[in-house]
Amino acid sequence: MKNILKDYAATEENPKWQNIIKREKEIYFRNKNIRSEFERDYTRIIHSTAYRRLKHKTQVFFSPENDHICTRIEHVVHVESISYTIAKYLGINVELTKAIATAHDIGHSPFGHAGEKILSEISLRDIGEIFWHEKNGLEMVDKIELLEDPNGSKQNLNLTYAVRDGIISHCGEIDENQLKPREEYINLEEYKRPNEYAPYTWEGCVVKIADKISYLGRDIVDAVTIGILDGHLKELYELLNYDSNKVINNTVIINDLISDLCDNSSAEKGLCFSNKMFIMMNEIKKYNYKHIYLSKGLQFSIKYFEVILNSIYEVLKETYKKKEEVERLYPTIVMDFDQWLEKYWSLERKKRFKNDMLFDINKEKDYYKAIIYYISGMTDNYAIEMYDKIIRFNKD
């Protein structure tokens, strides 16, 4: 039913409102600012370097030459479009939904989920913490990404609680057919694993669902375009209940899922699909894992990613104890890391940086964590470029 969640939207009438719009620090004031709190968040996100780099990060298929194959930023645009449609129909805040959707994957590493897994293995081994892109996304907007204020000082993005919560709560790997926002206002640093808590707002819940709707259909279409599903299309047509003459079209899959969700959701039940559609979604997910994500064709590229990311990490790790020696061999990558690190290390900061301190580089684990943050922000192409400089001893 249209506008069925209007009374629960993130507006001033919502009892959660003050928590929803809370920022960790008071944001600077602009004269004649006509934007809402969430519009300010949205523009701060799209002006960040982490957002812009998403256009050169893998969604599923690495470095596609075909312009029609989805990259990470196109996935983000799909999620924003889907979540906007759902939010508008249900009557909740489309500005908040748009801001969360636009930022939701800002913490993704190079090389997609494969790169995320590689960095998590490194992180668990060397600092005792798992790396996961939802948490990294929160840390990107809270700690890493910097914008210049009207005085020319670099400051953290300082987004509202609702957007920050939506980023860390967005995990699309959900199998339950009911999603409602949590009531508790928690310290977001309490998150220890993906999908540990439901989002704080209905808007965050919509983005979480939209993320899954987006990737299920689009990954299939990309896989068909590449040819990785040749030999498995009959199974797919049966799964989708398509006539053999019907073209597998992402917009049709998305439309069916959105319509079903809007028809079956309510404040009492939460965001949910019909049983028939929910079963089909889970079957599509199984199909995608079997024939796309775990396919033999993708395993060769994953081995390549492992070599690249581990090589960059090991070179930079060596600089902790043997910096001069390593810098002589690999000056470009060491110098670039140093320039990045100086923004977050209190002993080498310049007056124009007003962001929080992150690292004590006299502590070994702090230094290793800095390397992981640094690598996670790289695009696919930049990581490859740094790896090429390592193996070729390229000093340019």
Q: What domains are defined for the chain?
A: 6-106+145-294 (1.10.3210.10), 297-392 (no CATH)
Q: Are 165 and 204 in contact (CB under 8 A)?
A: yes
pLDDT at 63: 66
Q: How far apart are CA 45 and CA 100, in angstroms?
A: 9
Q: Which two three-digit tokens encode residue 139?
A: 């840390």
Percent of the chain with pLDDT over 70: 96
Span 353-371, average pLDDT:
89
pLDDT at 78 over 90: yes
pLDDT band, residue 396 (cuts 50/70/90): low
Q: How far apart are CA 180 and CA 177, in angstroms?
A: 10
Q: How far apart are CA 133 and CA 113, in angstroms?
A: 9
pLDDT band, residue 171 (cuts 50/70/90): confident
Span 113-122, average pLDDT:
97
Specify the range with the lowest mean pLDDT, choosing from 32-41, 172-181, 260-269: 172-181
pLDDT band, residue 387 (cuts 50/70/90): very high
Q: How far apart are CA 268 and CA 7, in angstroms?
A: 13
Q: In the predicted model, what is the mean pLDDT of the chain?
A: 91
Q: Which of 22-36, 273-287, 343-357 has the highest mean pLDDT?
A: 273-287
pLDDT at 60: 84
Span 38-61, average pLDDT:
94
For the stretch 304-336, pLDDT in tens is 999 999 999 999 999 999 999 999 999 999 999
pLDDT at 329: 92
CB atoms within 10 A of CB 324: 8
More confident: 246 or 25: 25
- How long, in residues, is the chain? 396
**If you write DSSP's letter for every residue of 16-58 in order, what string do you get?**
THHHHT--SSPPPP-TT----HHHHHHHHHHTSHHHHGGGGSB
Q: Are 147 and 119 in contact (CB under 8 A)?
A: no
pLDDT at 30: 72
Q: Are 59 and 108 in contact (CB under 8 A)?
A: no
Q: What are phi and psi of 128, to 5 degrees?
A: 75, 20
Span 168-196, average pLDDT:
88
Burial label, 224 (beta-carbon count in 10 A; 0-12, 13-18, 19+) = middle
CB atoms within 10 A of CB 257: 25
Q: How far apart are CA 28 and CA 25, in angstroms?
A: 9
* β-strand partners of 155: 147
pLDDT band, residue 65 (cuts 50/70/90): low
What angle do helix axes 331-341 and 364-376 make, rounded to 10 degrees? 100
Percent of the chain with pLDDT over 90: 67
CA-to-CA separations, 46 to 20, 41, 208, 251, in angstroms, rounded: 20, 9, 20, 25
Q: Are 154 and 355 in contact (CB under 8 A)?
A: yes
For the stretch 275-289, pLDDT in tens is 999 998 889 899 999
Q: Which two three-digit tokens encode residue 62?
A: 């690495």
More confident: 259 or 226: 259
Span 44-61, average pLDDT:
93
Query: Cα 205–206–208 angle (5° rounding)?
Result: 65
Query: 227 in the Ramachandran plot: left (φ > 0), alpha (ψ -120 to 50) or beta?
Result: left
Q: What are phi and psi of 71, to 5 degrees?
A: -105, 175
CB atoms within 10 A of CB 283: 13
* Tokens 């930023």 sit on residue: 73
Give, for 80, the enclosing helix (H) or strand (E).
helix 72-90
Span 166-177, average pLDDT:
82
Q: Are 262 and 271 in contact (CB under 8 A)?
A: no
Exposure on the CB side of residue 347, measured as CA atoms within 13 A: 5
